[in-house]
Amino acid sequence: MSALADILERRARLVAEAETQRHVLAEGFAVCRSVLVVADRGLAWAAWLRARPYLVVALVTAIAVLRPRFALAWSARLLTLWRVGRLVYDAIKPLASVRALREKKQTAGPEGPGQGGTILQGEPGPSRQAP
């Protein structure tokens, strides 16, 4: 009977510890939530603007005509931002392709694609060819 009591006591302790960990994680996510909401809205706006490039051109043209000094000052900043963004993108792109390749290998399994009883559609084998 003492073994059962020990198991129940350990279970109660583990359940309490898991509850504490859940609360700590929830607090951590709450801190990040506001940042993620802003980032999500930014991505939504970027997608909306990307679908309507004529609005971006019209806005930039209006600013350049109405406030040329402002446009010149910000054009240098935007050019720098563009170059840094391209540099970061070019640095990350090969890493993303390596990761995708690694994930593809993991989903194929240890036997490789097309082995282990998997039937693939494609070129017919020698037994299916016409005489």
Is residue 60 exposed (0-12), middle (13-18) or buried (19+ Cβ within 10 Å)?
middle
**Whether pLDDT at 119 is above 80:** no
Where do the structural domains in the chain lie, given as residue ranges? 1-51, 68-107
- Model confidence, pTM: 0.40
Task: Report H helices in the chain.
Answer: 2-51, 53-66, 68-108
Q: What is the DSSP letter of 38?
A: H
Q: pLDDT tens across 61-116, in order? A: 999 999 999 998 888 998 999 999 999 989 888 887 888 888 888 877 555 555 54
Higher pLDDT, 115 or 36: 36
pLDDT of residue 58: 95
Tokens of 30: 């709450």
pLDDT of residue 1: 63
pLDDT of residue 48: 93
- Closest by CA to 88, choosing from 96, 77, 99, 76, is 96
- For residue 36, name the pLDDT band (cuts at 50, 70, 90): confident
Contact status, residue 53 vs residue 61, Cβ threshold 8 Å: no
Exposure b/e, 68-77, CB count within 10 A at least 16 = b: eeebeeeeee
Query: What is the pLDDT of the chain when averaged over all its residues?
Result: 83
Euclidean distance between CA atoms 111 and 120, whole angstroms:
14
Euclidean distance between CA atoms 43 and 37, whole angstroms:
10
